[in-house]
Structures are given as structure tokens and as C-alpha cells.
Amino acid sequence: MSGLNLELNHAWAKVPQAQRWVVKIGSALLTADGAGLDQTAISAWVDQISALRKQGIDIVLVSSGSIAEGMSRLKMKQRPHELHRLQAAAAVGQMGLIQAYESNFQRYQTHTAQILLTHDDLSNRQRYLNARSTIKELLELGVVPVINENDTVVTDEIRFGDNDSLGALVANLVEADLLIILTDQMGLHRSDPRQNPDAPVIAQAYASDRELDAMVSGGMGHLGRGGMATKLNAARLAARSGAVTLITSGHLPQVLERIHQGELVGTLLVPDLEPLVARKRWLAGHLQAKGRLVLDEGAVRVLMNQGRSLLPVGVKAVYGKFSRGDMVTCEGLDGIAIARGLINYDSVDSEKIMGKSSGQIEATLGYVSEPELIHRDNLVLL
């Protein structure tokens, strides 16, 4: 049965319970359609984010706007077509963008951190884990990460709407419960609202529902706004790790706080699977195994029966050449594979610490990345 026709029981009720949000703000909202950064709007979003953080919600901000702000500072009337001019505009605009966030969050004695990523960073497993560890540590330190695509160094053509996908990949990266895409529309409409102003907003649906494809437009604005098609695709990317996506208007007063209070605003797109199941299925099908770990009987029992992480003390042998973040297979002494997971140490260091307690890792290697060889959230039983 189509997700558009289903009653998605308690879908909206789960939104206020989300404890880790990724909030993506588009260029049109941040730059008032090219008139430079909208300082009033940025101040209002910072007020809302700060209020939510006081209630214990982790928020990662994915912000567009660097190219548009650079265009404004450089007095460019039209978005450049040449890659080097786009990159130059991004480099100039990024300064103003991060200054605006930092100065506003300082009103709440809150630090921000600028993180510039490319999609390559999130497809390379070692850089993926490095980025994840950094962002999670920033959240632990009470810092608000502000993430943008690294437009100044990408070699591919800078595409419209790319930060929608980046927001979804960041939601995967930090295991967010909720991805909020703030745009200049109220959500997904059943037909193009530019042609039919009375087109109703779809309140909720499964992100995977193919009926939605016919209802979105790929149109773009001149500053870099992705069409609703990119936002639907982002919701599907986020659903791979179990995140719920809400697409709504950034023009609504107190929109983030209203979402937290459970008000139905915009379009809620939910995954078909529960978050942990979705994430592990994504991991299982995402990578090929680069190596093997042979576990003792105790480690096998712990993984199979207790849902615990894999510690180095339970490893008897390491085979293959792999890097931190690669997928490896875990097998028992009988050679039967029982699990696969993303490993926190490369093959050389894994061999050095196998059989040792977690407390001996730093003494053995001179550093400690994680106490586990494979964290249970990155482990899939076979």
C-alpha cells in the first residue's frame, strides 16, 4: 500500500523526542535572495537553536550561503558559470558566513566550529570516521558544528542544491534522529505551488514512496536553491541510517521550537525501518570486507548474545591489509563468519593490540582512537 495513503502511526509524535538534529538552511533563506546575509534571520535561528540546546538537543548546522554571500560582497549580479569564479566567490563568502554564526552564538557564550566537507570526504571510510569523531567530540564539548561543502577545492562542477544531499550524509555521519531542511516552501506539495497556489502540502509519507517523484519539481533559483527533487533525494539518503526528515519553511516564526513542540509544519518523510535496523542494513550493503578478524569463543558469545562491541582482548588473529574505517569480517575459531563491521584501527595496529585489554591500547600504540576495535553501532551480525 502506498505510504501516501497510510496512517503513519505516531510519526509526528517521535519528532519532539529526537535528541540529535541536523538542520540545513538554504541560500535563499540566508541571503534574502541575494541581498547579502540576512543578519536578522540568522540571529533568530541562533536564538532558536540555543533554546533547543538548553533542552539537551544536539544540533549540527549545515549551512549554504557562501557563494551567494561572496557574490554579494564581490558585487556580482549573476551567479558565475566559470568554476574558478564560483570557487573564488565561495572563499570570500565563507568568511562572512562563519563570522555571522560565530558572533551570534557568542551571545549565548557558545563556540562554533567551521567544517568544510566534500562528498569524497564522506565516501572515504578513513576520512568518514575522522569527520564523525571530530563532530561528535565538538558536540561533547558544547560546540555547534557549522558544516558547508568545501566549494573552494572541489574539482567537480558545483551543483545546485548539493547541500541538501550533504545534510543527509551528515545525518548519516552523526547518526542523527532528525534532518530538518529549511527552505522557502512549506514542504512537498501534491502539485507545483508556483502553478497551483492551492496545492495541498503532503503532511507525511514514507521517504521511499515513489508516488512522491511525480509531485516534486527540479526547478532551481539563481542563487543555488535545489528543487524539491533534491530534498526528496536527501530524505531518502537520510533514511538509510534511520533518520526522519522534515522539509518546511524557514520563514515560519520560531519554526524550530514549534517543531520541537510537536506542531505539524511541513512534510515529514520517515524511513520504512527502525533507525538502528536501517543503519545496520546500510552498513551491511555499503562496503566490501577488506580483512578478517578471528575471535575467541568468549568474544563470539558476547557479540552474538549480548549485542556488545568488539574489544581487542577477544581477537586471536588478524588477516588482510585494511585501514581505519574499512569493513572487516569477524569469524569464530571454526572459520564461520558471524559479523561484519567498521574497524577503528588499521591492520598493523589491530595486530599489535589484539588480545590486549582496552586499557593497554595507548601504552601499546602511543595513542588511543577508541576503546573498541568495532563499536556495536557499526557492527552487523550475519
Q: Is the pLDDT of residue 218 over 50?
A: no
| Top-ranked range on mean pLDDT: pick from 46-60, 271-285, 318-332 | 46-60
Contact partners, residue 288, CB within 8 Å, separation at least 6: 327
Q: Which DSSP string corresponds to 140-189?
A: HTT-EEEEEE-TTT--SPPPTTHHHHHHHHHHHHHT-SEEEEEESSSS-B
Q: Which residues pair with 374 in a beta bridge?
A: 310
pLDDT in the model for residue 87: 86
Q: What is the pLDDT of residues 280-319, one digit of tens each?
A: 666 665 557 889 999 999 999 999 988 899 999 999 999 9
pLDDT in the model for residue 100: 94
Contact partners, residue 373, CB within 8 Å, separation at least 6: 293, 309, 310, 311, 312, 315, 343, 344, 345, 350, 353
| Greater model confidence, 157 or 317 | 317
Q: What is the mean pLDDT of residues 307-333?
A: 93
Reduced to 3 states, what is the DSSP secondary structure of residue 6? coil
pTM recorded for the entire structure: 0.74
pLDDT in the model for residue 132: 86
Q: What is the pLDDT of residues 74-101, one digit of tens each?
A: 988 888 888 888 889 889 989 999 999 9
Q: What is the pLDDT of residues 245-256, one digit of tens each?
A: 999 999 999 999
Per the CB < 8 A criterion, the answer to whether 156 and 1 are in contact is: no
DSSP letter, residue 311: P
Question: What does each C-alpha distance from 72 to 162, 185, 346 come to in angstroms?
Answer: 20, 23, 46
Which of 21, 23, 16 is closest to 183 using CA atoms? 23
Contact partners, residue 367, CB within 8 Å, separation at least 6: none
Provide the terminal-to-terminal Cα distance of the chain, rounded to the nearest Å: 30
The CATH architecture one would assign to domain 3-279 is 3-Layer(aba) Sandwich (3.40)
Please tell me the distance from the alpha carbon of residue 247 to that of residue 329, in angstroms, as a whole number: 38
Superfamily of domain 287-381: PUA domain (2.30.130.10)
Which of 334, 208, 341 is closest to 273 using CA atoms? 208
Contact partners, residue 371, CB within 8 Å, separation at least 6: 311, 358, 361
pLDDT in the model for residue 348: 96
Per the CB < 8 A criterion, the answer to whether 23 and 182 are in contact is: yes
Tell me if domain 3-279 and domain 287-381 are identical in fold. no
Please tell me the distance from the alpha carbon of residue 241 to that of residue 231, in angstroms, as a whole number: 16
Residue extents of the structural domains in the chain: 3-279, 287-381
Q: Is the dihedral of CA 340, 342, 347, 352 positive or negative?
A: negative
- Provide the 10 A C-beta neighbour count for residue 167: 32
Question: What does each C-alpha distance from 220 to 26, 162, 275 come to in angstroms?
Answer: 12, 11, 31
* Average pLDDT value over all residues in the chain: 84
